[in-house]
Structure 1
Amino acid sequence: MLIKPVPSAKAPLDLLLEADPSVDKIRRYLENSSCYVATIGNKTVGAYVIQPIMDGVFELMNIAVAPAHQGKGIGAKLLEHAVKKARELGAGRLELGTGTFGYQLAFYQRAGFRAVAVERDHFLTHYDEPIYENGIQYKDRLRLALEF
């Protein structure tokens, strides 16, 4: 597997929609972000987007793996790459926002991310359509951070 940068204009929107259902939000944050894709052969199997948000702090805006390739460690390798890239770019902290339950929360916690804040009603006020996982509606967003 190869992970390489791509221009934001060539970001795999269909793949990024796996992690964030808002095309408008993705397009907005891509403007000021760096996008990296994971490929196997000539097939894109994953991607992530990071963005500087303040001096020494980056945010992981999106990380996604194609459904057919999930459960194979690609997401963990992408996250490891994102942490390494943020460090290389001078960050001392990588932040992200995720739902308050579900697989994603455990995924980030296994990588050492810790909760730093709860944004109440984030998914209710920032998305036009409700977002569900396992029949439970996302309401609040949990902010996580990894210090290095």
Structure 2
Amino acid sequence: MLKQVKEINDEIKELLLLADPSIEMINQYISESSIYTIEENDLIGVIVLKAVNESTLEIMNIAVSEAYQGKGYGKLMLKEAEKIAKHSGYDKLIIATANSSLNQLALYQKCGFRIQEIEKDFFINEYKEVIMENGIRAMDKIILSKLVC
């Protein structure tokens, strides 16, 4: 279902910016990551995976086009990322999001991820602009993990 891409075009970049509003932050991790898309006539979603160490793979970015949100594509991409991690020999998959990302936190936990760590003030210290979601300021980075079965 997922197709690996070697270069990001403007359409993929726009999707990445849905999940991470800083192109500077995206540029920091994109060159060391594997990028996968899901398409059915249109670009539906993108997921970016990066090795943290020999046993852990991190989902650096996951985004679904607004027209396709709420239709199960995010969950599908997370399941595919788990298959990629297992096939590549990783034991653990991690993903991080902001304290204000309520829908993402719910999705990740529904897919079996558990809160592992909270990095206080990450979004205050690392992002120049104030990020607001759901009427909540993004301040803390919540890191979730899942053992790959």
> Which category of TM-score, normalised to the shorter sequence, fits these structures?
over 0.9
Task: State percent identity of aligned pairs.
Answer: 38
Q: Where does the alignment leave 5 or more consecutive residues of structure 1 unmatched? A: none
SS in 2 for 1:129: coil
Structure 1 position 80 matched with structure 2 position 79: yes
Count the aligned residue pairs: 146
TM-score for both structures, normalised by structure 1: 0.94
TM-score for both structures, normalised by structure 2: 0.94
| CA deviation after TM superposition for structure 1 residue 9, in Å | 4.1
Aligned counterpart, 2:26: 26
Q: Distance in 2 between matches of 1:8 and 1:52?
A: 18
| CA deviation after TM superposition for structure 1 residue 96, in Å | 1.2
1:1-148 matched pairs, under 5 angstroms: 2-10=1-9, 12-41=12-41, 43-101=42-100, 102-148=102-148
User: C-alpha offsets along residues 69-113 of structure 1, whole Å, 9 cap, x if unaligned?
Assistant: 101111111111111111111100001111224110010000000
Q: Which runs of 4+ in 1 moved over 2 A?
A: 8-11
Q: Distance in 1 between matches of 2:136 and 2:9?
A: 33
Q: Distance in 2 between matches of 1:85 and 1:73?
A: 18
Q: Distance in 2 between matches of 1:96 and 1:119?
A: 13
CA RMSD of aligned residues (A): 1.2
